[in-house]
Structure 1
Amino acid sequence: MTLSINSQNISIYEFNEFQLTLFHTKSTEQHSNELNHYFSEVLGNTIKVSCVEKNNQILLSINTKTLNEITFEIYSDSNNIRISGGSGKALQRGIAFFLETIGIIKITEKDWFLKKDKQLSFPSHFYKKSEPDFVYRYLYYPGNFNKDFRSWYQLDGIDQDFGIWGHSYHKLMPPSIYFKKQPELFALFEGERNSGSICYTNGRTQEIFKAELKKIIKKNPHAKFFSVSQNDDEVYCQCNRCEKLNKKHGEDRGSHYVFLNDLAKEFPNHNLISLAYLHTSQPPKDLHLVHNLYIIYCPINLNRGISFAEDPRSSDMRATLKNWTEATENLFFWDYTVQFTDYFSAFPNIHTFQKNYDYLKKEGIKGLFIQGSADIPSHFYELRQFLLVNLLQNTEINVDEKTLDFMEMFYGNAAKYVSEYLNLFTKNQIDSNSYLSIYDNPVKQIETFLSPEHMSDYNQIILGAEEIVRKDSKVYSRIRDLRLSLEYTYFQQSKFFGKDQHGMFIKKTNDDDYEIRQNLTKRVEDFTKHLNGKGVYEISEMGLSPDEYYQRWLEIINYANITSEAKKLKINLLTQPSEDFKGKGAYGLVDGVRAYKDYNINWVGWYGNDAEIEIELEGQQVNQIKINFLENQRHWIFPPVSINLFGIKDGQKVKMKTCHFPELIENENIKIISKTFNNLDTNNYSNLILVINNRNLPIWRKRKNKKAMFMLDEIEIY
């Protein structure tokens, strides 16, 4: 292995002849060791280190006089290569740039790629001074959990930079300590004191926050930021004094930002930072934030299928961002880049990254927090994080070229197949123009880019990829990750299709009953084992573990299949369900398949209103009707107050029976609640009408602009 400098005249200086050495000072000794570590890991040998400066060296230095803390500088002459950084982190990025230039690239947290296997060269008389396009760069992907990957791409770390992080009201003033004895310190919301937020105008509240921050600052004197952010909720104080500030500075957020501004003034030499999120996402009116108060704008409900820089549906977000840049000079942006409900399903938003970040840079955004799948190896996470870390450095890179490079480095001979797969599901999403939400799922997109027809096309491409790299175990394993993403999508959709084509159940031979498709459960088991083998502990944000997913699959097999004894009478929805939760409509309520605990699959929901549903008897006698409801309080899904059953006789509604639901109890469990009308006599009626009465939100889930939803999955008629 030779390492050389070549000039424009192609004269070669062979460092194996001139004995290339690595020069460092005491302040750069760690970085010298890291560079040698990279050479050792990739090339299998190291460079000798010299403490004497001479020719034929790589010289490392930290230069705080002419370089800022995020800038590196690299230049070479005919003898030496000099790499400097305004900080240790910047120097590390300079070293990474040097290595990338000679052909050594860190493509994932686990994988290196060596472009040239005989001679590594660096041009002489070269100069580059560079700093990232964003002063703060945090990437929440598996690469974030690897020190070498973070160093290579000059990523920032919350653990190192924050004295206190995230939603922090409950940390600074714990309800467990204060709420019972001093409820007046907390928000007066919907007429009740609520521990979900604070009373901003109670002087004692600010005293407690100040005292806690002083303790935290003392423990973390070198932290760059201290988070003072609302809890992950939409509770805010509506007491008279807070409402006056809300009215003056902006609806439900005015008192919030006045409080933060005043608190920041108490710590002029430290940077406080706060999430502009949910009800605080809009900037305050007629209030400019002080110099040491930073804001992270978190627009969570955006269409991710088109760049928010150009999507007409994101115009409100762009206007809000413009207003924020006028309210503060210290604006960061929180970007959500994966599908949080299903990490392993395709989520075609990669093509939007460059336009989004170039737009944010031009709008004056100083820092980016990019939320991905944490340490979960989600669908295409390797490509996602590779493009994102490069865009954080320079939003004007050639993304198509970077993507092609990555495909060839990571997928080898299968690169053209994987590129075709990525391009096809991206094209199908763009052509559908459907709204792509971070809370989507494989069922939501079943008529767009994840239709059964498209799924078949994707499968054929992956089959081709598997075949061409079958003898390359490393690349074949990477293709298998993509294969199991398709498998997971199929599993989820098979629950939705139920007993129809593509469903999880098929008709038994010479029988009216149904059974699970052959080998389907074995495929789910293989998927589970694969994820466990990769150390995956959840398949969605705060979701099921692979083993729990498999256990629920077994439970669904036994629970979902309704006996053929249930009558197939026609159902008419006299009141239409919510557009977002219409499922399969009326057919879905008599398709012979019970839904389980995922509200996205086979449930039909009515949001904030009652519902009337007609059952056409067609001259048949009905003895029993069973209805299943879902309770998921976290998502505002509750059982209704009551159900009234009416018979239609001579065109008039005659009440037959009423069923009431018990009082609600606050809980976080997801439950299925069944109600049954027994011993019915329907001989005198032409049709039946179910009137389902929705409820008001219980006090513990009251939020602005929120209503209760009830969901049902099947009307079983016997």
Structure 2
Amino acid sequence: MKKSINQFIGTKGFKFLLFLLLTSFQFNSYGKTIPLVVNGKSDYVIVISAKENESEKKAALLLQKNIFQISGYEIPISNQLGKRKKAIYINVSNIVQDPDGFSIRTKNEKLYIEGGNKKGCIYGVVTLLEKYMGCRYYSSTYASIPSKKDINLPEIDLKDEPKNDCRIVYIVDKVGQEFIDWNRLNTIDDIFAEGYYVHTFGKFVPWQEYFKSHPEYFSEMNGRRNIDQLCLSNPEVLKLTIEKLKKEMVLQPNKEYWSVSQNDNFSYCQCEKCSKTITEEGSPSGPIIRFVNEVAKQFPDKIISTLAYEYSRKAPIITKPAKNVQVMLCTIELNRSKSIEEDKGSESFKNDIIEWGKICNHIYLWDYNIDFANSVSPFPNLHVLQPNIQFFVKNNVSAHFQQANASVGSEFSELKVYLLSRLLWNPDADVAQLTDEFLNGYYGKAAPWIKKYIDKLESELKKSNDGLDIYGHPTSHQNTFLSQANINDYNSFFDNAEKVVQTDAAQLLHVKVARLPLQFAIMEIGKNDMFGPRGWYSEKNGEYNVIPEKVQMIEDFYSVCQQANIDHLNESGLTPKSYYESTKRFIDVQVKGNLSFKKKVTSSDAPSPQYSKGDLAYLTNGVRGDSNYKVHWLGWNGIDFTLTLDLEKTVQAKTIEISSLWDAKSWILHPAGIRCLVSENGKDFAEVGNVLTDGDQEKAEVNKVFAFGVPQKGIRYVKFEVKGTNQLPEWHPSAGSKSWVFIDEIVVK
């Protein structure tokens, strides 16, 4: 039979033993704890080397600043080593092999932060502040810094280094270097020579300078030379490229990475020599890699970067990139609703990354994480971020460019930066924990409701099996995860979220900004169903009346954009003001008094079926298109054309209007001019006006109305002779390519 401990040593003995255990625990705990700040005071000094190392200095200042914010005490910084009993030593150390790696350890009441020769010391300090002092930077404008007079550090022995050498999350907003460092990120300017990141062929052999005298320097397609790309088999093109690089490298001698890469269009040279190489290599990347290898030979101490993008994504089967050539592999065509590994539609990309991994020393993975056409729109892709990054790393990728186009207002942009930055450092990080940490810190008591919204969006997307397109529109999902029933649930989540943070102005604004994509989707779906059950109008006895709640929504949307300083809503730079004004214009339906309402229009050249199905009825449906070219607009590519309206009977009209759209990033320009003619019999037409577009349209209003007065006589037919710009002008990045003209509502009153 076993005896109890009391029976074994007696009651007094037990109490004595318990005393020894407790005092021993207290002694050991005190011995392992560093009282860095006690009651708002400290005996510690931050010590850096006398070498004036930039990383050490920045790390020391960052630590000093945050300890002051926490405790109110500013720990001094010294570069005098000496013998110190209490010190925080921050130094670059050869012991830390990774340039961004670090170690943090405590010993004998001293704290040591040692880092690699790039930013290891800075990242060590960031980790100390996050992990052991509770500091969080959720965005560049919102941080959580605890306030307390005592800072006690436990015993620490921590080492860490990034899994990826280059970690870029593209942030559109100006956020400051401290925020970039806090997220352990690089920037394009850290890595690449200024002006030489991507799409650089035009810098080496500018078509404006050479095309007229040397068309053979440029790509041949269908037997004709064009300015879209370079002819990479032409030795003079190679010579000019090398000469230009030599001059530019003198100006930026410390930059290692230089891009020699295709322009941003779908063309590539198909002359006899280039075609032969393409056939041999099994891909249009063949001529590119051969060309870039020759450039790289001239600059063995530099890295020459090029794109594997769209037509050049497939790896060549013969030529391997040189040791100092970097290949930027891009995922632009892929679906965002599923991880790349599980998506059957991504098989060709999976094969491409494997093949490039076999032959290339440097793969720079360019991924896309946002809806570029509608960045303020529901885009539930958070669940694919981690598996995709893990997939890239598994396939020999250690340099990443995550194009999140992060900016205030873009759907969950702050959360995406938070997750992506940490996953690029550690692809196996606990995403659920990070997400909860962010939501609780950024949205406060509203976090559970925001989480419900995120989870239901993702669940409904998966249930629908919809794909996510980086140029998609909410109407594509109006019957699935953006169905009316789902939107009712989402709205209830946000109603509750707003209620619980009413007294916290900052967190209430965070919730309202998170709601903008839902409001945007509701408004855009409504535009597509203008007079239907989800539209902007109700109909009674043949009269159409705008729904007040919808009008209030666009007012609220614009107000929140102003409060949050949101300056754009998509990649093309659509401003909240332009969206607000164009939406107000859109919902001002042209029905009452509009003689052209639902009348037939014919065109000399059919519009593209890509947009509004090419249905000419959209031109007289009473609804003016707004800023989104995918809704209610018709497009003609690189041509002049004529539209003819039949009013069905002779009428007395005073004004005629027709609208056009400008979206230069999407290659859409206003027409060069529109000539308007009228007729009573359909044969004899008389001109009533010829309106020309002023300027070169580098900057223009999004919507333009061409208006014409009508003489006091009866008319039945209206003809519009539309003169397109036809080609993108010199200021455009894709100069020389065909431009689009987009036309919408014809109004006759």
Give the 3 Å change call, closer, same or farther, for CA 596–106 of structure 1 in structure 2: closer
8 A contact 2:474–2:521 mirrored in 1 = yes
Aligned to 2:103: 73
Aligned to 1:87: 117
Among 337, 353, 359, the residue aligned to 1:321: 353
8 A contact 1:84–1:91 mirrored in 2 = yes
Residues 98-133 of structure 1, C-alpha deviations (whole Å, 9 max, x = no match): 111212222222222246857544331x32222111
Task: Report the Cα offset of residue 380 of structure 1.
Answer: 0.9
8 A contact 2:407–2:413 mirrored in 1 = no
Aligned to 1:229: 261
Aligned to 2:303: 271
Among 477, 487, 494, the residue aligned to 1:462: 494
Among 114, 135, 143, the residue aligned to 1:104: 135
Among 268, 272, 277, the residue aligned to 1:240: 272
SS class of match (1:15): strand
8 A contact 1:332–1:366 mirrored in 2 = yes
Unaligned runs of 5+ in 1: 609-619, 640-655, 681-696
Give the 3 Å change call, closer, same or farther, for CA 464–177 of structure 1 in structure 2: same
Give the 3 Å change call, closer, same or farther, for CA 253–202 of structure 1 in structure 2: same
Distance 2:27 2:406 in 1: 42
Task: Report the Cα offset of residue 88 of structure 1.
Answer: 3.9
8 A contact 2:596–2:748 mirrored in 1 = yes
Task: Report the Cα offset of residue 480 of structure 1.
Answer: 1.3
Distance 2:215 2:441 in 1: 59
Residues 316-347 of structure 1, C-alpha deviations (whole Å, 9 max, x = no match): 11111111112212111001111111121111
Distance 1:410 1:158 in 2: 27
Aligned to 2:218: 186
Among 363, 367, 379, the residue aligned to 2:395: 363
Give the 3 Å change call, closer, same or farther, for CA 42–213 of structure 1 in structure 2: farther
Distance 1:95 1:41 in 2: 15
Is 1:15 the counterpart of 2:46? The answer is no
Aligned to 2:170: 140
Aligned to 1:440: 472
Is 1:48 the counterpart of 2:76? The answer is yes
Aligned to 1:158: 188
Aligned to 1:452: 484
TM-score (norm 1): 0.82
8 A contact 2:667–2:728 mirrored in 1 = no
Give the 3 Å change call, closer, same or farther, for CA 336–223 of structure 1 in structure 2: same
1:583-662 equivalences in 2 (<5 Å): 592-596=622-626, 598-603=628-633
1:297-316 equivalences in 2 (<5 Å): 297-316=329-348
Give the 3 Å change call, closer, same or farther, for CA 74–187 of structure 1 in structure 2: same
Task: Report the Cα offset of residue 134 of structure 1.
Answer: 0.9
SS class of match (2:476): coil
Task: Report the Cα offset of residue 485 of structure 1.
Answer: 2.9
Give the 3 Å change call, closer, same or farther, for CA 216–577 of structure 1 in structure 2: closer
Give the 3 Å change call, closer, same or farther, for CA 598–111 of structure 1 in structure 2: closer
Aligned to 2:576: 546
Distance 2:74 2:222 in 1: 67
Aligned to 1:129: 159
Residues 493-523 of structure 1, C-alpha deviations (whole Å, 9 max, x = no match): 221111122212333x6x6232433364454
Aligned to 1:340: 372
Residues 606-631 of structure 1, C-alpha deviations (whole Å, 9 max, x = no match): 999xxxxxxxxxxx98779x998978
Aligned to 1:213: 245
Distance 2:73 2:269 in 1: 63
Give the 3 Å change call, closer, same or farther, for CA 153–518 of structure 1 in structure 2: closer
Task: Report the Cα offset of residue 66 of structure 1.
Answer: 4.5
Residues 34-81 of structure 1, C-alpha deviations (whole Å, 9 max, x = no match): 211222344433223343353332211101354231221222234222
SS class of match (2:199): coil
8 A contact 1:144–1:150 mirrored in 2 = no
Query: Percent identity of the aligned residues?
Result: 26
Task: Report the Cα offset of residue 308 of structure 1.
Answer: 1.2
Residues 645-670 of structure 1, C-alpha deviations (whole Å, 9 max, x = no match): xxxxxxxxxxx9999xx9xx998888
Q: How many residue pairs were aligned?
A: 677
Distance 1:273 1:282 in 2: 16
Distance 2:624 2:507 in 1: 40
Task: Report the Cα offset of residue 700 of structure 1.
Answer: 7.7
Give the 3 Å change call, closer, same or farther, for CA 143–123 of structure 1 in structure 2: farther
Give the 3 Å change call, closer, same or farther, for CA 713–516 of structure 1 in structure 2: same
SS class of match (1:503): coil
Residues 284-313 of structure 1, C-alpha deviations (whole Å, 9 max, x = no match): 221111010001101201110111121111
Distance 1:271 1:214 in 2: 14
Is 1:528 the counterpart of 2:528? The answer is no
Task: Report the Cα offset of residue 395 of structure 1.
Answer: 0.8
Task: Report the Cα offset of residue 410 of structure 1.
Answer: 1.2
Distance 1:207 1:92 in 2: 43
RMSD, matched Cα: 4.6
Aligned residue identity for 1:307? S
Aligned to 1:426: 458
Among 398, 403, 408, the residue aligned to 2:430: 398
8 A contact 2:105–2:157 mirrored in 1 = yes
Aligned residue identity for 2:75? I
8 A contact 1:562–1:592 mirrored in 2 = no
Give the 3 Å change call, closer, same or farther, for CA 658–116 of structure 1 in structure 2: farther
